[in-house]
Chains A and B, each alone.
Chain A
């Protein structure tokens, strides 16, 4: 049973990591969700064998009683994970409303470097539909796509 759970945890982590590395925000959110499930399952697995409920008056000698702490951890983690996933989905939705696109943009520095390389090589840079993202970085947002 423990082996099965361990393999399952590993599988959830693997799939979660794969999804996390995708460019679509919804997949990233799903990936984080799966990673969270993997972590919760891990908590349950490290708690050891299943047993009687750990209640006062029942099995006070501690024999055959399930470890209560990992279950408390798992419950807390599930609640937090639920809230986090809801927030992430809302954020992904806002991002989609803002851009009509689910893709994750390149980092500001990456775009700056790419732009610099294009400029240095003298290529004409086509107007970039994503450019309004840069509105806060307004020294770097050539709205007409003009290269200086």
Chain B
């Protein structure tokens, strides 16, 4: 068994096992948690292998590449996979602490494992059709998590999410079909070189169609509207993992598609989309009055920064994009987990019903402050490094309008983070919840749940790894970017698999 397929296969098998163990919640938890940990271990081993020995590829069943299903891991995908699995493991711990997986019928843990498998498969696949399958595996799990045991509000918003994503998947399927019709292959490595030789009109139409589909998944302008409506209604552990991972899988596929298909002439479209995404996302966040909705709009704005790196298209730009994804996944998830901690303690995430938590729950304040400052790009946190990389690349390439948009968006991000800070942690609540009022009357601090707070603290600590090993992470991202710009090593690895 090759290391490349393990991170996708372990959770899938364990999902079946966990389903069989539905009678015992603790058995389910042990199986699921162990499976995600094992997948993480496999991903770390894979990253080390790719780092030392170059791109790893494996074609299943001994078929030649192009007929069989190919799995490939290069630095970009291995790096994203490791970060994603760290987040998946810690959110799982948080969910176990909250006990949201206890609802009957007990499908929460198995479905979560299917989500892990789908995410891993999307990162590792070397074949466009298999990417469609990976998306479906990931999305069907996300549909269930979003609407499971749901009230009317969750069904309504879940419906938007499901319909939007089914439509995007149908478009993806059609595009994959058309690409097969035009080139005779859906294997990414075989598309390198073959796709750019198509007549210009066909090439651009197919390339842009593919980018548009991935842009829907990534919530890029103008396809972002489904996200802030559907994310905040789910249980917070679900929202946190969606916020961290799902749109970033879309960003990853956009990065991969531009690398494989050599869509240099799509750059202008990406520049416009990235600039508008950054601004519109953050402007949307400013008018919101609920912590989870503010954070949801910020996902959109942050996706704009990643696509900005991609739109610049130089080594520095792609390095910035990779770095931004690595920074964003844990930071965003951590912020949502803190909003979950606050909601768990006080019963709400609405700013006007909260206040003075810096006295009532100093730990939450600390756990919020670090990722919030990181998101806003304040040194020395990871967001500063990522933003610096993207913006320097933009300046070098002369994309001044986009750089200006990113700086404005950055300023507004600080503004809306301080709005959360002022609303939740300072002052007093305008309309306190019963728990808030009781705590204020006794001048007591909120009780801290060890498991959920511990999981959040671990994730916040994980966000500090990027700034501590800043230059190493940057070097890794730069090597990943070099491989993306010159896919010949990728092609070589797949041919020899």
Interface residues of A (CB under 8 A from B): 20, 25, 28, 32, 35-36, 38-40, 42-43, 45-47, 69-70, 73, 76-77, 80, 83-84, 87-88, 91-92, 94-95, 98-99, 104-105, 107-109, 132-139
Q: State the CA gap A36–B177 with chains docked (Å).
A: 12
- A107 interface neighbour in B151, B163, B167, B225, Cβ under 8 Å: B225
20 A–B contact pairs at CB < 8 A? A20-B163, A20-B167, A25-B159, A32-B166, A69-B180, A73-B180, A76-B129, A76-B133, A84-B136, A87-B162, A91-B158, A94-B150, A95-B159, A107-B160, A132-B152, A133-B153, A134-B153, A136-B154, A139-B350, A139-B352
- B166 interface neighbour in A70, A88, A99, Cβ under 8 Å: A88
- Assess whether B426 is interfacial by the CB under 8 Å rule: no
- The digit string for B209-234, where 1 denotes a CB below 8 A from any CB of A, is 00000000000000001001100110
Q: State the CA gap A32–B410 with chains docked (Å).
A: 39
Once the chains bind, are B174 and A39 in contact (CB under 8 Å)?
Answer: yes
A residues less than 8 Å from B225 (CB atoms): 107
- Assess whether B485 is interfacial by the CB under 8 Å rule: no
- B229 interface neighbour in A83, A84, A107, Cβ under 8 Å: A107
A residues less than 8 Å from B199 (CB atoms): none
A residues less than 8 Å from B167 (CB atoms): 20, 32, 35
CB distance from B82 to the nearest CB of A (A): 28
- Assess whether B156 is interfacial by the CB under 8 Å rule: yes
A residues less than 8 Å from B152 (CB atoms): 95, 98-99, 132-133, 135
Q: A28-B163, A32-B167 are in contact. Are A73 and B156 (CB under 8 A)?
A: no
Once the chains bind, are B177 and A70 in contact (CB under 8 Å)?
Answer: yes
Q: State the CA gap A133–B67 with chains docked (Å).
A: 49
A residues less than 8 Å from B169 (CB atoms): 84
Q: A39-B177, A88-B162 are in contact. Are A69 and B153 (CB under 8 A)?
A: no
- Assess whether B482 is interfacial by the CB under 8 Å rule: no
CB distance from B170 to the nearest CB of A (A): 5
- Assess whether B44 is interfacial by the CB under 8 Å rule: no
Q: State the CA gap A83–B133 with chains docked (Å).
A: 13
Once the chains bind, are B166 and A84 in contact (CB under 8 Å)?
Answer: yes
Once the chains bind, are A70 and B352 in contact (CB under 8 Å)?
Answer: no
- A69 interface neighbour in B67, B133, B151, B178, Cβ under 8 Å: B67
Q: State the CA gap A35–B132 with chains docked (Å).
A: 16
Residue of B151, B173, B232, B352 with most partner-chain A CB within 10 A:
B173
B275-292 contacts to A, CB under 8 A, are 289-290
B residues less than 8 Å from A137 (CB atoms): 290
Known: A20-B167, A77-B173, A137-B290. 11 other contacts (CB 8 A): A32-B170, A36-B173, A46-B181, A69-B180, A73-B129, A76-B129, A84-B169, A104-B159, A108-B157, A108-B229, A133-B153
B residues less than 8 Å from A84 (CB atoms): 136, 140, 166, 169
CB distance from A122 to the nearest CB of B (A): 22
Once the chains bind, are A46 and B147 in contact (CB under 8 Å)?
Answer: no
- Which 8 pairs from chain A and chain B are nearest by CB? A46-B181, A98-B152, A43-B177, A39-B173, A39-B174, A42-B177, A35-B170, A136-B153
- A91 interface neighbour in B136, B147, B174, B180, Cβ under 8 Å: B147
In the complex formed, the residue of B with least CB distance to A135 is B153
- Assess whether B155 is interfacial by the CB under 8 Å rule: yes
A residues less than 8 Å from B156 (CB atoms): 95, 105, 133
Q: State the CA gap A147–B93 with chains docked (Å).
A: 44
- Assess whether B243 is interfacial by the CB under 8 Å rule: no
A residues less than 8 Å from B181 (CB atoms): 45-46
A residues less than 8 Å from B233 (CB atoms): 136
Residue of A46, A83, A88, A107 with most partner-chain B CB within 10 A:
A46
CB distance from A21 to the nearest CB of B (A): 11
A residues less than 8 Å from B186 (CB atoms): 69, 73
Q: State the CA gap A28–B158 with chains docked (Å).
A: 14
Once the chains bind, are A73 and B176 in contact (CB under 8 Å)?
Answer: yes
A residues less than 8 Å from B157 (CB atoms): 108
Once the chains bind, are B180 and A46 in contact (CB under 8 Å)?
Answer: yes
- Assess whether B143 is interfacial by the CB under 8 Å rule: yes
In the complex formed, the residue of B with least CB distance to A90 is B147
CB distance from B381 to the nearest CB of A (A): 31
Q: State the CA gap A108–B293 with chains docked (Å).
A: 11
Q: State the CA gap A92–B155 with chains docked (Å).
A: 9
Q: A84-B140, A133-B156 are in contact. Are A39 and B170 (CB under 8 A)?
A: yes
Q: State the CA gap A42–B177 with chains docked (Å).
A: 7
CB distance from B128 to the nearest CB of A (A): 10
B residues less than 8 Å from A45 (CB atoms): 181
Once the chains bind, are B133 and A80 in contact (CB under 8 Å)?
Answer: yes
B residues less than 8 Å from A76 (CB atoms): 129, 133
B residues less than 8 Å from A134 (CB atoms): 153
A residues less than 8 Å from B352 (CB atoms): 139
B148-201 contacts to A, CB under 8 A, are 150-160, 162-163, 166-167, 169-170, 173-174, 176-178, 180-181, 186
Q: State the CA gap A66–B290 with chains docked (Å).
A: 57
- B143 interface neighbour in A25, A43, A46, A87, Cβ under 8 Å: A87
Once the chains bind, are B178 and A91 in contact (CB under 8 Å)?
Answer: no
CB distance from A42 to the nearest CB of B (A): 5
Q: State the CA gap A98–B147 with chains docked (Å).
A: 13
Q: State the CA gap A91–B166 with chains docked (Å).
A: 13
CB distance from B467 to the nearest CB of A (A): 36
Once the chains bind, are B143 and A38 in contact (CB under 8 Å)?
Answer: no
CB distance from A59 to the nearest CB of B (A): 16
B residues less than 8 Å from A25 (CB atoms): 159
B residues less than 8 Å from A28 (CB atoms): 163
